[in-house]
């Protein structure tokens, strides 16, 4: 399993996470979102909204496509927070990649997606939401994947 920073779909900073079988592309300028999952030379199985790719800074939430970490129960002000800020990432010695984003309004949440890729096409994901706000919240991680047609 290897990683590298690549340009993709108009964004200059994306994490390419790959092995001999598959590759994933994760946005680091917005999100985090797994915006592509494909076999080498194959088609991306995740839906992408072409008009929203490569952009950031919109005043409203954008679907963009791919896989994203949300909050449940659905609450428009929390679930649909605008995720247009850079994403932190780190990689452990064992190969696990940790993606971290911070939601500041209306509550302070830290969202983490952990990815591990074995020696096949199998990807393991772990989703974590940490309340960093002063007020108590009742919520759960809600992982949503938008698949390409077909």
**CATH number of the domain that 57 lies in?**
2.70.98.10
Given a cut of 70, the residues of the chain with pLDDT beneath it are none
| pTM, rounded to two decimals | 0.92
Domain that holds residue 102: 2-146
Q: Output the pLDDT for position 132.
A: 96
**How much is the pLDDT for 105?**
87
Closest C-alpha to 26, from 103, 86, 80, 105: 86
Q: By three-state DSSP, how is residue 83 classified?
A: coil
- What is the rounded CA–CA span in Å between residue 139 and residue 73? 6
* Structural domains in the chain (count): 1
Whether 12 and 94 have beta carbons less than 8 Å apart is answered as no
Distance CA 127, CA 115 (A): 9
């Amino acid at each position: 399993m290897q990683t590298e920073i690549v340009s993709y779909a108009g964004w200059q900073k994306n994490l390419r996470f790959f092995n001999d079988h598959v590759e994933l592309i994760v946005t680091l300028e917005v999100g985090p979102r797994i915006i592509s999952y494909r076999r080498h030379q194959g088609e991306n199985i995740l839906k992408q909204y072409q008009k929203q790719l490569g952009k950031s800074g919109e005043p409203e939430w954008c679907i963009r496509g791919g896989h994203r970490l949300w909050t449940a129960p659905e609450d428009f002000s929390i679930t649909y927070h605008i995720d247009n800020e850079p994403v932190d990432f780190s990689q452990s010695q064992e190969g696990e990649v940790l993606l971290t984003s911070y939601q500041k309004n209306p509550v302070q949440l830290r969202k983490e997606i952990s990815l591990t890729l074995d020696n096949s096409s199998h990807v393991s994901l772990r989703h974590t939401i940490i309340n960093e706000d002063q007020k108590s919240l009742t919520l759960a991680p809600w992982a949503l994947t938008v698949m390409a047609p077909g």
